[in-house]
Structure 1
Amino acid sequence: MNNYAARYRRGITERTVVTSTRFRGRIVLAGVCALVLASCGGDGGGGAGGEAEQVFRYADGLFPVSLDTHQYPAEEAVQTAVQQVLEPLVRLEDGEPVPVLAQSWENTDETTWVFHLRDDVEFTDGSPLTADDVKASAERLIDMEGPLAPLWAPVESIEATDDSTVTFHTSQPLGTLPSTLSLLFIGPAGQIDDDAYWQQPVGTGPFTVDRFVPDDRVLLERNDGYWGDAAILDRVEIINIPEESSRITALHTGEIDAMSRIPPDQIGKVDGESGIVYETGPSFTYYFIWFNGHEEPLDDVRVRQAMWHAVNVEGVVADLFGDLATLAQAPITQAVFGAPALEHYAYDPGRARQLLAEAGYPDGIDLSIQWPREGGPNIRGLAQAFISDWADVGVNVEPLEKERAQWLEDFGNMNWDLNLQTNATGTGDADFTLGRLYTCEADRMGYCNEDLDDALARARASLDPAEREALYLEAARYIWDDAVGIFPADLANNTAYREHVQGFELPPNGRPDFSTVAITNPPSR
């Protein structure tokens, strides 16, 4: 395996999902049911008795490369589609695990977790959910050594104790196991190793896969045998429309019902427009710039601190993003459990020049910065603004905007000085980001601090939320004070949908749950 492939499988790209809140707002749905023409009970509508079919069409800026959620556990678009069909043992609500396929669990000793499955769940092929399915799904994900590997590293073995009991044995206390399990989607043990299964995966969720057309669309149908509250929609279509302007046009014409990831300079085309609802909300996604500390001069903390002091981050973020971003206060967003509120580096070009001189670079330095094309809202503008500020203190930075494939390869091979990108804390728990990316073992950007490792290890082991928050504060301060990177902005989620859509929301993880959606007065298509 080449260096790039190895780093990619270890999770060098950061796009991961947690199942969105499936049962929150069921009371609201009772009101929605009164509005929709399709019935919320019985056959769920489906056009019976002349009632219009409930069809919801959604276009995001990303489209799934596959439906294999184990092979691509960190790809946002894959998870958005698959979480409608396959389910985890638990999901997180406000940082706390709540039951999904597991009805209860306990930490029987420091290194043993026992999960008890619901006894009323079947896959859509009629086979019952058993502990063997959980065991097989977890072992397949672990064996692929993908982006979630550091989260699973302490798991030594998984035991199907009986049909309805799964036991996880760990090498050390692992208080974060429930949050990690929110990213494990369960398929039938006898099918998940077959590539053909992932073209039309069988799950336990509120929808089934009718068809997956690569680079075009994913077609979902309601699972009328779902063990939980049935979805209202008859069908969901996830449509690939890569161009932002084309997605907005499709929303106006009714080709799609909802879209998300609207860049700041396009908001005026949806906000306040007749027949369209525009909303914003908190997000787990943020911008960061990492320094490659493997090489001079970025191995010197004074250089890294100088480059942070040299940029007017607050002014740039306000100018480029408006209400769609806030000044970062930690290496993770404030919406994440465990995020502290740290003081941002002051914009001080004089201090930046002083630090550069102390580090032995009074005449400045030459560097480059890379980012992926279409890597996030106003990413090019962010890079250009920082490059301009760095030039004022004698740091000349060459801009390298790259196609995503080339950027990924160079990123994995550490072929960069500075790297700019967005990232998301998939579980909504600080461990997902801090414990995976900043340890000495992870070696993502050439930074190693054993005190940081110790704080993160203790946080991962703890079952006490208050203790974990205190340890995450300690860890974040190391990252912040040592200027491992520059953390400019926490991004907000935004979405726009047609006014006949009810029950649609974009949670902080950015992966909507379609089982809560309904269409009032379904339009003719």
Structure 2
Amino acid sequence: MLVRAKARARVVSCLAAAALVVALAACSSTDDAGGDNQVLRFAPQLFPVSLDVQQYPAEEAVQTTVQQALETLTVMKDGQPAPKLATKWESPDASTWVFHLREGVTFSDGKPFTAKDVKGSVERLIGLKGSLNPLLASITAVDATDDHTVTFHTSAPLGTLPSTLSLVFIGQGDKVGTDAYWQKPIGTGPFAIDSFNPDEKVVLSRNEGYWGDKAKVARLEILDMPEIAARITALDNNEVDVLTAIPPDQVAEVQGTDGASYGTGPSFNYYFIWFNQNNKPFDNLKVRQALLYALDIKSVVAGLFGDLGTVAQSPITQSVFGSTQLTPYAYDPDKAKQLLTEAGYPGGISVSMQWPLEGGPNIRAMAQAFISQWAKAGIKVEPLEKERATWLKDFGALKWDLNLQTNTTGTGDADFTLNRLYTCAAKRMGYCNKDLDAILAQARASLDQNERKTLYAQADKILWDDAVGIFPVDLKNNYVIRSNVKGFEMPVNGRPDFSTVSLG
């Protein structure tokens, strides 16, 4: 949906934001009319903490930046893997995948792209044992069979490998293991990274030797503007061309920006609240259910998100392959109290909930609304809003009772979320269900998409009934662009490809 903006005057109350914009304005201009001189300026909600996309494979800001310069073997289209650096692939037996690479591809420094680059990149990613490791753990070896053929060997059938590889960015195989390489990684994509200044900007230039369609603009600048007020002011002053992830309470503001257009679209993003089942009282199903029945999620979602959110009906959004439609828990505070009593807590419980500062649209307001509703059912929840670095550290160390955050299904395939987060081996929150593990293993092994979809529906139902978490809202993507921006598309994964964008 695209809504044409209307002219409207605005009084800007944030002097700090204005000062920041003025400073940035001195550094960037799009006055040049020709494509050879055009500069496209993007101010995301979050700025990349690093360009090492293998160290931060689930960080959207890192992925969005790096994907302009580095590419993957496959890309997801309509929920299915499609060719990118690989042109075709096959599974000759249950423990082997063979990928055939695109020929004539070079890195932006002129070095030829070969199977050794794939081997080095995948092996380094697996060795890091990061957040994607559960998706790649069954890979036992990666062989560069010849310059344009890569063979993956697995310990078990891995039908999801082609979709998982849409998240594995390929760098130069002999350099990906060094920290220096990731300061300014060299890739095969439509842009080349010129510079990365933390807390300021990333500058990329068109890769003139790109194997595909050349980028429309000569330069892309990704700017760090942490405050939404600064980003909107920059948009007003024609100092930024593209904004994404506009908070619901700021939508009317950007819709009133003269010379700009606002749009929305489906998303893989959603909110969840996890229970740490390693600790009491959340090792008790009835307690977890009580927290669900104590919430009027429908009213909170309507009040805080409007048309940018819908009440979730599954542990993954409806845009994801393998999602199903389940019945949300009803709002019933009396039942919540009854369940607490049955669980041995007639006087209620006292716990805490953490979430990251600026962790998503209206995250604080949603936390406060839920805490207020829980209190009415005898559930006292201490709010713990934390700086992102502290939150991440505590999250990984399981130093929390309740954890609120946004999440996304990076590949658009249910396996990415369900197998990565909810198996016994994942050890994310003390949850383990052997029946779920068996279903997910069967789905991962299958090459039959209809069978996989049926199995994921079963898995969704188990997670829902086990009350592993509270899934309040599926989010929509949104964006605003200056009226001279042409060719911009917001994909479901929320990571735009800026090579198709031009300035009219």
1:467-493 CA-to-partner distances (Å, cap 9, x unmatched) read 111111111111101111100000111
Counterpart Cα distance in 2 of 1:193 and 1:354 = 56
Counterpart Cα distance in 2 of 1:106 and 1:61 = 39
Question: Aligned AA for 1:357?
Answer: T
1:322-362 CA-to-partner distances (Å, cap 9, x unmatched) read 01100001011111111111110011112112211111112
Among 191, 207, 231, the residue aligned to 2:191: 207
Q: CA deviation at 1:371?
A: 0.9
1:202-244 CA-to-partner distances (Å, cap 9, x unmatched) read 2111111111111111111111111111111111000101111
Among 77, 84, 106, the residue aligned to 1:100: 84
Among 150, 153, 156, the residue aligned to 2:140: 156
Among 208, 226, 246, the residue aligned to 1:262: 246
Counterpart Cα distance in 2 of 1:377 and 1:181 = 29
Alignment partner, residue 253 of structure 1: 237
Counterpart Cα distance in 1 of 2:396 and 2:188 = 36
Calculate the aligned-residue CA RMSD, in Å: 1.2
Q: CA deviation at 1:37?
A: 5.7
Counterpart Cα distance in 2 of 1:463 and 1:184 = 20
Counterpart Cα distance in 1 of 2:178 and 2:349 = 53
TM norm structure 1: 0.89
Among 165, 169, 176, the residue aligned to 1:181: 165
Q: Secondary structure of the equivalent of 2:180?
A: helix
Among 307, 325, 329, the residue aligned to 2:291: 307
1:275-302 CA-to-partner distances (Å, cap 9, x unmatched) read 1111111111100000111111111101
1:100-157 CA-to-partner distances (Å, cap 9, x unmatched) read 1111110111110000111111112222111111101100111111110101101010
Question: Aligned AA for 2:150?
Answer: V
Counterpart Cα distance in 1 of 2:197 and 2:393 = 27
Counterpart Cα distance in 2 of 1:217 and 1:325 = 30
Q: CA deviation at 1:411?
A: 1.4
Alignment partner, residue 286 of structure 1: 270
Among 150, 167, 181, the residue aligned to 1:166: 150
Question: Aligned AA for 1:157?
Answer: A
Q: Is structure 2 residue 277 aligned with structure 1 residue 277?
A: no
Counterpart Cα distance in 2 of 1:331 and 1:71 = 26
Alignment partner, residue 17 of structure 2: none
Does the 8 Å CA contact 2:76/2:166 hold for their aligned counterparts?
yes
Question: Aligned AA for 2:228?
Answer: E
Question: Aligned AA for 1:133?
Answer: D
Does the 8 Å CA contact 2:271/2:407 hold for their aligned counterparts?
yes
Counterpart Cα distance in 2 of 1:293 and 1:197 = 40
Alignment partner, residue 174 of structure 2: 190
1:156-195 CA-to-partner distances (Å, cap 9, x unmatched) read 1000111110000000100000011111111122222232
Alignment partner, residue 395 of structure 2: 411
Does the 8 Å CA contact 2:354/2:402 hold for their aligned counterparts?
yes
Q: CA deviation at 1:272?
A: 3.7
Among 490, 497, 502, the residue aligned to 1:506: 490
TM norm structure 2: 0.92
Alignment partner, residue 281 of structure 2: 297
1:351-408 CA-to-partner distances (Å, cap 9, x unmatched) read 1122111111122111111111111111111111111111111111111111112212
Counterpart Cα distance in 1 of 2:455 and 2:484 = 46
User: Following superposition of structure 1 onto structure 2, how do residues 229-244 of structure 1 map, counting pairs within 5 Å?
Assistant: 229-244=213-228
Does the 8 Å CA contact 2:236/2:258 hold for their aligned counterparts?
no
Alignment partner, residue 366 of structure 1: 350
Q: Secondary structure of the equivalent of 1:270?
A: helix
Among 93, 97, 104, the residue aligned to 1:109: 93
Q: Secondary structure of the equivalent of 1:441?
A: helix
